[in-house]
Amino acid sequence: LALLQKGKKQEEGKRLPESGKNKKLPGELEEFLGHIDRKFDSSRMDLRGEKVYYMPEGLPTLRGIRFLRTGLLMGELKKNRFEPSQALAMNLKKEEYDQVIDLPLEDERVMKYLKGETLDVEDLVKPKDKGWYLICVDGYPLGFGKLVNQMLKNKYLPGWRWNS
């Protein structure tokens, strides 16, 4: 549903206001982005409440317009930490993230991950490793998990989990 109003013709591909250039991102987000080997333009980052979106290039000003989704949901800022989203995991390539656990399809942990269970990955990581890991199967990303004490806490979306 849309309400259209006749008025001045707007330039196509109008950028976000210049005030968005070089905006300061929260430290937790900057720290997480340091693990990604992809350039993100900070002027295209949009913080809405706790959610962080990466907006499309050339998006016109959307002030006053309500919408369901306009960009890539990067994740959420919660209590001085950043939690990456499932959408970001699906958007990344294995080579673009520096903390990856790549499981072969035959590994029983793949099904455990898809069911939302915590995984024991002590054979794949060093004892002192911790933080967000991109979980891949044969090089294809499935989602994120948080590594603590060689146990991977599953962050796979509950609505996507295997039920059987």
CA gap 73, 27 in Å, rounded:
18
Taking CA atoms, 90 is separated from 52, 93, 128, 134, in Å, by 16, 8, 27, 10
**Does residue 28 have a pLDDT over 70?**
yes
d(CA 53, CA 49): 11
> How high is the pLDDT of residue 5?
78
Q: Contact 57/44 with Cβ under 8 angstroms?
A: yes
**Angle (nearest 5°) at CA 144 between 47 and 35:** 65
Tell me which of 23 and 131 has the higher pLDDT: 131
Q: Using the 8-state DSSP alphabet, how is residue 36 labeled?
A: B
Compute the chain's Rg from CA coordinates.
Answer: 19
Q: Which domains does the chain have, with CATH numbers?
A: 18-84 (no CATH), 93-160 (2.30.130.60)
Mean pLDDT in the chain?
Answer: 87
Q: What is the mean pLDDT of residues 104-111?
A: 96
Mean pLDDT of 64-86: 89
**What is the pLDDT, as a whole number, of residue 74?**
97
What pairs with residue 54 in β-bridges?
45, 72
Strand extents, DSSP E, the chain: 45-48, 51-54, 72-78, 81-84, 100-103, 119-120, 131-137, 140-148, 151-154
The pTM is what?
A: 0.82
